[in-house]
Amino acid sequence: QMSRVIVLVDMDCFYAQVEQRDKPSLWGKPVGVLQYSANGQSGLIAVSYEARPFGVKRGMTANQCKELCPDIEICLVPQGEYADKADIQKYRDASAEVFAVLGSIDSRIILEKASVDEAFLDCTAYVESRVTKVREETIQRLLDPACLPTSFIVDGKEDEKDEDETEDEEETVDEEARLKRKNERIEMIRKRKIEEFIEKCRFDDEFLKIALAAEFAERLREKVREKTQFYCSAGVGNNKTMAKLVCAAHKPRKQSFIPPGSEVDVLRNTKVSSVRGLGGKLGRSLTERLGINTMGELYRTPSSVLTATFPDNAPWLMQIARGEDYDKVDSRVLQRNLGVGKNFPGTMAIYTNMNAKFWLNGLTKELRKRMADDKIKHRRLAQKVVVHVTTDVSTSKSVKVGATEEKEGRLFEKLWPVMQSMRKGPGEGWKPPIFNISLSAGRFLEGLPSKENSIIGWVERRTKQLEEMEGKDAVEKLNRDAAAEEKRRLEREEMGEEEGEGEEMEGIFMVDNLDDDDDDDCLIVE
């Protein structure tokens, strides 16, 4: 089949950049983002590039990283409102800003949200439409050094000759000058390789399509930077696996692409564990059972051996080793489910009925807030909530269905019995002890009942105004304010009795009236 052109965009030290933007004095400084949990368990979940040369790594405690990098600035992940837990909403909001840019460029591009900070883009249709343009003009444009200013070719021949540091013959006293000359040489090699690549584009459309996607990615990244202040990196390849792999080759603030046909060379010395899908048990068992450490070794393993050892995975493994991957870019920017959860490790485990109820209650409130946000923002309602309880040995899980629509206010009453059904022990105690509770809402039904439309309509009009006047941040806040109001409405409903439709409508009318008060952002006037 026709070859595809895939781009993977991944934000650089994403949460750290969010904190740097929040507090601009942190730009250019070593920054770590620390996730607390009052358990005393806490670790870094993001580390700025300035801190990485010190050896600071994700997972380290504040003390550990202070030892390696005394000047590191530690930022804390916000805490939840209802439960003593981390709340990463601010990073989701920042992610939404980035995706607004990614989705606004060209309607022919298929966009898949792969995580809070990365996206796959299928640019095939877009580049196909540009391959047909006058070739010489395109080539001249691409040859301009300003066209691919942060691009690197990755062909698997990197450590052949002068590419890496061949130490200077002469003894230099001036460390700075030495470094400068080294960088100049790296930049020279970079430019030469790009030129070689572009020259191939004259007669080879496969090369040209990659180059056009790289040009596109340069512009896209610049636009992300303009609109959000965040830097990112990108990888370009013929499939998701290669795009993702090559993105990591040059980071931060850079992008990389593979000359068509060099995939196997790029993979040759790649550790299996760094390939998407092989970072876990499968990759480990490749090493343990067949002694395979690199993708080159996997490539050379006879298919009979692979089939005998991994019958289910052998076909996929052989494709991936050849640099082939037929996984499609799935046009999807919204999450399929949303959840909250908390660990209770070791001695923090939950042993009592009361404690179980306490945490389920807090987590339910956090979930309900998320559901209210999602409802306003995406106009959809979760049809299913899953309660997951991890105990001693077996991780038990149970689900709960039921039209959650409009019943969010009674969520806890619904979930508590589900949770109790997982209790084995009688009386006050809870057996077996619980090490994790997580809740997740999903199976969304698109669209809202028409009775919802008043508040939605208000948000829509207000969104337009704010976008013009104040930008994306204000819009995110507006959505949350509206969700908060929605939540309060549900709480009133929960409190009490039948609760008149009148009061409800009144709240919304008041909101409606606010429309003309153009300087008032507040939704609630009670």
Ligand X SMILES: Nc1ncnc2c1ncn2[C@H]1C[C@H](O)[C@@H](COP(=O)(O)OP(=O)(O)OP(=O)(O)O)O1
Partner DNA sequence: ATTATAGCGCA
Partner DNA sequence: TGCGCTATA
User: Where do contacts with ligand X occur on this chain (CB under 6 A)?
Assistant: 10-15, 45-46, 116-117, 251-252
Closest CB 98 distance from ligand X, rounded Å: 11
The least CB distance from residue 333 to Mg ion, in Å, is 16
Give the nearer residue to ligand X in terms of CB position, either 11 or 372.
11
Helix (H) or strand (E) holding 38: none
The residues that touch Mg ion, with contacts defined as CB under 5 A, are 10-11, 14, 117-118
Using rule CB under 7 A, residue 335 touches DNA: yes
For residue 385, the 8-state DSSP code is E
Q: Which residues ranging from 87 to 106 are in contact with DNA (CB under 7 A)?
A: 87-88, 92
Q: Compare residues 305 and 334 and give the one whose CB is closer to DNA.
A: 334
Residue 357 binds which one of DNA, ligand X, Mg ion, none, with CB within 5 to 8 A depending on kind? none
DSSP code of 294?
A: B
- Binding-residue pattern over the window 203 to 242 for DNA, x denoting contact by CB under 7 A: ----------------------------------------
Does 113 interact with DNA (rule: CB under 7 A)? yes
How many beta carbons lie within 10 A of that of residue 6, not counting itself? Answer: 27
- Considering only 32, 260, 283, 296, the residue that binds DNA (CB under 7 A) is 283
Q: Cβ–Cβ contacts within 10 Å for residue 48, how many?
A: 26
Residue with tokens 């209802």: 82
Going 349 to 355 to 357 to 360, the CA torsion angle's sign is negative
For the CB of residue 315, give the shortest distance to ligand X in the complex, in Å: 29
> Among ligand X, Mg ion, DNA, none, what binds residue 153 when CB lies within 5 to 8 Å by partner kind?
none
Give whichever of 225 and 443 is closer to ligand X, judged by the CB atom. 225
Torsion 349-355-356-362 (CA) sign:
negative
Partner whose footprint covers residue 380, from Mg ion, ligand X, DNA, none (CB < 5 to 8 Å by kind): none
**Which listed range, 109-117, 134-142, 176-184, 408-416, lies at the site for DNA (CB under 7 A)?**
109-117
Among 21, 66, 276, 377, binds DNA (CB under 7 A): 276
Retrieve residue 509's tokens: 């009318």
Name which position in 26, 47, 69, 86 contacts DNA (CB under 7 A): 86
Q: Least separation, in Å, of the C-beta of 341 and ligand X?
A: 12
> Which bin fits 443, alpha (ψ -120 to 50), beta or left (φ > 0)?
left
- Residues in 368-427 at the binding interface with DNA, rule: CB under 7 A: 384, 386, 394-399, 401
- The Cα–Cα gap between 462 and 464 comes to 5
Instruction: Give the shortest CB-6-to-ligand X separation in angstroms.
Output: 17
User: What is the C-alpha to C-alpha distance for residues 248 and 266, in angstroms, rounded to an integer?
Assistant: 12
- List % helix, strand, coil for the chain (3-state, nearest 5): 50, 20, 35
CB 365 within 8 A of CB 410: no
User: Which of these ranges, 119-127, 132-140, 288-296, 328-336, lies near DNA under the rule CB under 7 A?
Assistant: 328-336
Per the structure block, which two tokens stand in for 227? 């609109």
Which H or E element spans position 504?
A: helix 501-514
- Which one, 20 or 301, has the nearer CB to Mg ion? 20
According to DSSP, the residues that pair with 234 across neighbouring strands are 9, 255
How would you classify the pairing of strands 395-400 and 429-446?
Answer: unpaired
Q: Which is nearer to ligand X, 252 or 457 (CB)?
A: 252
By the rule CB under 7 A, 117 interacts with DNA: yes
Find the helix packing angle between 472-495 and 89-102, rounded to 10°. 130
Query: Nearest 5°: phi and psi at 49?
Result: -65, -25
Closest CA to 319 of 304, 330, 303: 303
In whole angstroms, how close is the CB of 10 to Mg ion at the nearest point? Answer: 4
Q: What is the dihedral of CA 511, 515, 517, 523, to 10 degrees?
A: 30
Q: Which does 277 bind (CB under 5 to 8 A by kind): DNA, ligand X, Mg ion, none?
A: DNA
Residues 53-82 that bind DNA (CB under 7 A): 58-59
Query: Is 43 near DNA (CB under 7 A)?
Result: yes
Q: Are 52 and 82 in contact (CB under 8 A)?
A: no
Would you say 14 or 359 has its CB closer to Mg ion?
14
User: What type of residue sits at position 370?
Assistant: R
Interacting partner of 178 out of ligand X, Mg ion, DNA, none (Cβ under 5 to 8 A depending on kind)? none
Least CB distance from residue 45 to ligand X, whole Å? 4
Residue numbers at the binding site for DNA (CB under 7 A): 35, 37, 39, 41-45, 58-59, 85-88, 92, 113-118, 244, 275-283, 312, 330, 335-343, 345, 384, 386, 394-399, 401, 438, 440, 442
